[in-house]
Structure 1
């Protein structure tokens, strides 16, 4: 797993959080991240894909979340919401990324940025979404054991 990709995810979660809280223009936020050198040691192209991909596919991402969360998506803690949205984007749109990597990265982001225990909440939801979105991959992995 590339550290530059992990750093891109960290920055994307922070940028998505800012977008969710302020409704600020995506380009303005992205420029700010570049100007403040917050993308240092990050895979900048991956940051851009995640940061623009989540809002672009927000309807399908939130629809997937709605199926497995215990409250309206807008009522989920904003940090957890940003992490979940980013991870669901990867599960749905980055099939080259193993689902286990997506889950582990989401859990680690929740441990880093979320409230105590939020990683368990994130893990539970992402696991269910992975079962739905990546069923073939999960079955193949299980059969290989």
Structure 2
């Protein structure tokens, strides 16, 4: 599984974690069923879940005229993955983390999601 696919699957799993009360390991097993769990996917899910409070604080401090509760679940999940990559994944270039997040927002969010995600993440790296 390439990293793009791992990010997409991580977004779907973390979205489910936001709704259901499961641990990350169980959520990955339930979602992927018989598929082998990719190490990068596992790192994204476990890392973003483990650092959720710190990640949310980073997002909150970089929002302009928004609260984290007002952000749609899809965009919030995408932002969490991107902030995790920006702050805890040294081998991922900033522009790659941001571009991947924007691409996921375009695919899974509404017409303004990509622009919103890009704006928040640009504030995070500034």
Provide the TM-score with structure 2 as the length reference: 0.91
List gaps (5 residues or longer) in structure 2. Answer: none
Aligned to 2:24: 26
List gaps (5 residues or longer) in structure 1. Answer: 132-145
Aligned to 1:62: 56
Aligned to 2:45: 51
Mapped to 1, the partners of 2:61 and 2:32 lie a distance apart of: 35
Structure 1 ranges of 4+ moved more than 4 A = none
Aligned partners of 2:62 and 2:120 also within 8 Å: yes
What count of residue pairs does the alignment treat as equivalent?
Answer: 125
Per-residue CA deviation, residues 4-53 of structure 1 (Å, 9 max, x unaligned), is 1000000000001000011223222111122164x7xxx81000000010
Aligned to 2:109: 114
- Report deviation, 1:117: 1.4
The CA RMSD measured in Å over matched residues stands at 1.6
For residues 6-17 of structure 1, the aligned pairs below 5 Å read 6-17=4-15
- Report deviation, 1:61: 0.6
Match of 1:98 among 93, 98, 120: 93
- Report deviation, 1:98: 0.7
Mapped to 2, the partners of 1:123 and 1:60 lie a distance apart of: 20
